[in-house]
Structure 1
Amino acid sequence: MLNKNAIQVFEHSFLSIGEKGFEQRHFVALSKLNALHCYQYFDLKHNGVVFKQFVGVIKVDGLTIEILPKIDRYEPEENKSKWQKVLIEMLRVTRKLKIQQVGQAQVSRQSIHLLDIYFEWFLNEVQLLIHQGLIKQYYKQTGNVKALKGKLEFAGHLNKNLVHKERFYTTHQVYDKDHLIHQILGQALEIIEHISKGTYLYSKCKTVQLDFPEVKDIRANESTFLKVPKSRKTAPYETALSIARLIILNYAPNISSGSENMLALLFDMNSLWEEYVLVRLKEAAQGTGIEIYGQDSKSFWNGITIRPDIVLKKNDEVILIIDTKWKNIDQSKPSTHDLRQMYVYNEYWKSKKALLLYPSNDNQLNQFSQFAKIFEREEHHCGLGKISVLDSGGTLCADLGKKVLEIVHHEKRLSQK
């Protein structure tokens, strides 16, 4: 159960000022966060916030807002716990979160939300690195030393050591633990310490900090992570650095009107659904002779490329193109834009079939329909697939990839009749 300072909402829902502890200062902070990210996260109204397709967690001024996915427009409030588990499992399967099973995140916790899970994952990774032994690295340091070593900086030496003849102002190599990788991890630890005050993770974070070496304070940004060296020695740090990057780049100091800063870990549900379907399809296709590709792009026009979500090949021939859409169309038809998109994919990938795949409460395939012929070109088709996100037990469907392939095989049998 979430604590009193935590709110759970569904994507595309409205949260009004004064509701569930959401106050004016939180609204102001969210509006500033939205502006920093080109207004993509929310739609702001005069008395509240309308969430978009981004799911995840936001912490601001002691309030935690967890945004959960849904497929039914009228999803009952009591289903939030179920959809929290679905989101966590999706993040786990797509390797955006490492946890053996959802239940492990809910043992003896005073508050349960994504931020806790990510923080605990990071602290466990850093503890493991400390236990294995933190690496030392060479780096250049400029300053006064008592023995001449490295390169003497004449201008700095004359400026600083006219009186102190026993000192030398040099640039020299140092070999110790105060290097860029540890400085990044140290910054992430500071953020966790600040954000987790009052929770069970605060004491764990302080314990990790006691065992962590003293390093120079930095303020890492996107370019900082591009400078991180990659080698066999630094390979064990990859997971901790990836979580640190997520924490640091989504931390917004001084954005709120209160005393605390904001941290927002948000994921586009469209991309998450695409990645989940891709992973499950690759699992289901093993041993079938079908190859599954994601991110397969082709040049389209004047430097612009087009990319279907998923391409299925067999014997080097494209047998199906899938475009995933995280929206419920149980009561409507696909948009003309989506159908045009599938037509172009078929043309460019020389495919005879394309499938628009939507989440649903049931598994359903509307028969593939032929696009109208143009100048006697080879005909091709587009199908509409609705796949159940949940299994019969109400948990995220692990057989989703198998069910999609069954759709493919079903249509193939129909076409051979």
Structure 2
Amino acid sequence: MAAATHTIQVFEHQCLWAHKGEERLSTTQLMAFQDFYGEKGVPYYSLVNNGIQFNEYAGVIKVGNLTVEVLPKADKSDDKPLWQNTLINMLKTVGIFNIHAPSSTSLRLKSNSILDLYFELFINEIEYLLHRGFIKKYRKVERNALALKGALNFGKHIQKNVVHKERFYVRQTVYDTDHKIHQLLYKTIQLIHSINTNPLLNSRLGTLALNFPEVSSCVVTESFFHTLQFTRKTEPYKNALSIARLLLFNYHPDVSSGKTHLLALMFDMNLLWEQYVYISLRRKLLTKGFTITAQSRKKFWKPHIGYHSTMVPDIVINKDKPGCIVLDTKWKNLNGKNPSPEDLRQLYVYKKYYNATKVALIYPGEHYSITAGKYYEETHNTLSHHECAVITLPIDKKDPQSKIVLAQFMADYL
């Protein structure tokens, strides 16, 4: 009888132990986490005495029959369903959950884990592609045939057909659905089927496996995805392949001697918050005549021998124009404290190098606020006219889109 499935929800920076706490890891599960951590470590969590402590990453880690959902937390609220919904909607906003299939706009699973969402989105995409009809591609094959069609491989023909004179060993070009794209998608279906614990998805997975055309097995390599060029015919496959890549390359079978499999889909909350703020602002600003760029590089130092160093602010509004504004996002709760000196120094440099009118640090928070502060003069102990604002932007967690409350910020600051 299969072991019961179990889901644990924790917040970033929290710990899970094997010997204490309301929710505990089994010895096998802890060993799987330790083996996956290895000697080089992983960014998602750290090892502590008889347990693990999660870092500034949110998402899901599945170890055997245990699913651990790591949720973000930027204020005092401990409402886990609300933060789970917030994380999902943040991922949707930045395009992690891009979808083609019309049915995917209203997902059928209502109390999803993030892992269930990925599985269902992938299933929806494949159902959509099957309904459209799978594309065919040319591929080269070598095989024994009953007719001489193609180029005869004379060496292998002599080797294999000494007895069977009626056969021809030929090289042929065939046009069918058995190509690398479909092979990878089918491999992903098999992976999901092997680790899925949601009974609502089982029948759909079985139907997909039954209706999927027969394809060859394949080896999954990063080089295939790096070299893949989408055309008009293959563009509808983009989202399905994106999810397939995420699942196939984050699945780690047999991470311990106990044959425990591990799947990790984790997101750096600093990067997610940066993208979330950027995309939310871009939607508002482009209609008002502003320009907005993310990760804008500028050279600022070069050794006599070697490469130059660059500075990369998170967001620049109206770059190289009058009224330039530089914003740097930080995923942390200040709890009424000042920003770190390093962050303030960083914004001081941005203001000078980008000739910015304003610079600000953007934090998540329970309430909207802007706190302006001035830098001291470089040569004497008096305040200058150079300012750096500290801004907290609340996420409307009850909104279906979990939108940042931007209207007041734009009216006050831009």
Indicate the TM-score class for this superposition, using the shorter chain for normalisation.
0.7 to 0.9
CA deviation profile, 1:339-378 (whole Å, cap 9, x unmatched): 2222222233222321111111111111142353469xx9
Q: Does 1:9 align with 2:15?
A: no
Tell me, which stretches of 5 or more residues in structure 1 are unaligned?
A: 410-417
2:413 maps to which residue?
Answer: 408
User: In the alignment, which of 310, 313, 320 is matched to residue 315 of structure 2?
Assistant: 310
* Deviation, structure 1 residue 189: 0.4
Query: Where does 1:5-84 land on structure 2 (aligned, <5 Å)?
Result: 5-18=6-19, 19=21, 20-35=23-38, 38-72=41-75, 75-76=77-78, 79-84=79-84
Deviation at 1:148, TM superposition (A): 3.2
Which position in structure 2 is the counterpart of 1:136?
136
1:31-55 residue CA offsets vs partner (Å, 9 max, x unmatched): 2333498421111012111000111
For residues 11 and 85 of structure 1, the distance between their equivalents in structure 2, rounded to whole angstroms, comes to 15
Give the secondary-structure state (helix, strand or coil) at the position aligned to 1:49. Answer: strand
1:225-264 mapped onto 2 (5 Å cutoff)? 225-264=225-264
Specify the SS of the correspondent of 2:324.
strand
Which runs of structure 2 are paired with 1:166-177 in the superposition (5 Å)?
Answer: 166-177=166-177
Structure 1's 215 and 361: CA in aligned 2 closer, same or farther, altered over 3 A? Answer: same
Query: Normalising by the residue count of structure 1, what TM-score does the alignment of the two structures yield?
Result: 0.87
Query: Which sits farther off after the overlay, 351-360 or 129-138?
Result: 351-360
Q: Say which SS state the counterpart of residue 290 (structure 1) adopts.
A: coil
Q: Distance in 1 between matches of 2:330 and 2:369?
A: 15
Matched residue, 1:413? none
Query: Offset of 1:260 from its aligned partner?
Result: 4.9
Equivalent-residue separation in structure 2 for 1:108 and 1:153 (angstroms)? 57
Shift of 1:303: 4.3
User: What are the within-5 Å matches in structure 2 for residues 340-351 of structure 1?
Assistant: 340-351=345-356
| Matches of 2:103 and 2:370, distance apart in 1 | 31
Paired residue type of 1:44: L
Alignment equivalent of 2:393, drawn from 387, 394, 399: 387
How many residue pairs were aligned? 399
**Counterparts in 2 of 1:203-214, with a 5 A limit?**
203-214=203-214
Q: Secondary structure at the match of 1:204?
A: helix
1:412 match = none
For 1:323, the equivalent position in structure 2 comes to 328
Aligned-residue offset at 1:259: 4.8
Structure 1 window deviating more from structure 2 (193-202 vs 322-331): it is 193-202
- Is the alpha carbon distance of 1:147 and 1:60 closer, same or farther for their aligned partners in structure 2, counting shifts above 3 Å? same
CA pair 255-83 structure 1, distance change in 2 beyond 3 A: same
**Structure 1 runs of 4+ with >6 Å offset:** 99-103
Q: Residue 393 of structure 2 contacts residue 406 of structure 2 at CA under 8 Å; is this kept in 1?
A: no
The residue number in structure 2 matching 1:414 is: none
Whether 1:360 and 2:361 are equivalent positions in the alignment is no
**What is the rounded CA distance, in whole Å, between the counterparts of 1:36 and 1:183 in structure 2?**
34
Map of 1:268 onto structure 2: 268
* Farther-moved stretch of structure 1 (181-190 vs 325-334): 325-334
Distance 1:166 1:227 in 2: 41
Q: Which residue of 1 aligns with 2:216?
A: 216
Structure 1 partner of 2:194: 194
Deviation at 1:395? 7.2
2:116–2:198 contact (8 Å) kept in structure 1: no
Q: Is the 8 A contact 1:277 1:401 kept in 2?
A: no
Asked if structure 2 preserves the Cα contact closer than 8 Å seen for 1:281 and 1:404, the reply is no
| Contact preservation (8 Å) 1:352, 1:379 | no
Work out the percentage of aligned pairs sharing the same amino acid: 38
C-alpha distance in 1 between matches for 2:77 and 2:113: 20
CA distance in 1, matches of 2:378, 2:201: 62
Q: How far apart, in 1, do the equivalents of 2:214 and 2:40 lie? A: 33
Q: How far is 1:59 from its partner? A: 1.4
Of stretches 265-274 and 325-334 in structure 1, the one that deviates more from structure 2 is 325-334
Q: Residue 256 of structure 1 contacts residue 262 of structure 1 at CA under 8 Å; is this kept in 2? A: no
Instruction: Mark the CA change 1:352 to 1:108 in structure 2 (over 3 Å): closer, same or farther.
Output: closer
Aligned amino acid, residue 9 of structure 2: Q
Q: In angstroms, what is the RMSD of aligned CA positions?
A: 2.9
CA distance in 1, matches of 2:162, 2:210: 40
Question: Is contact 1:388–1:397 with CA below 8 Å preserved after alignment?
Answer: no
Q: Check the 8 A contact 1:88/1:102 in 2, yes or no.
A: no
When normalised by structure 2's length, the TM-score is: 0.87
CA gap 1:254/1:280 in 2 versus in 1, 3 angstroms:
same
Q: Tell me how far apart the structure 1 counterparts of residues 255 and 373 of structure 2 sit (CA, whole Å).
A: 50
Gaps of 5+ in 2: none
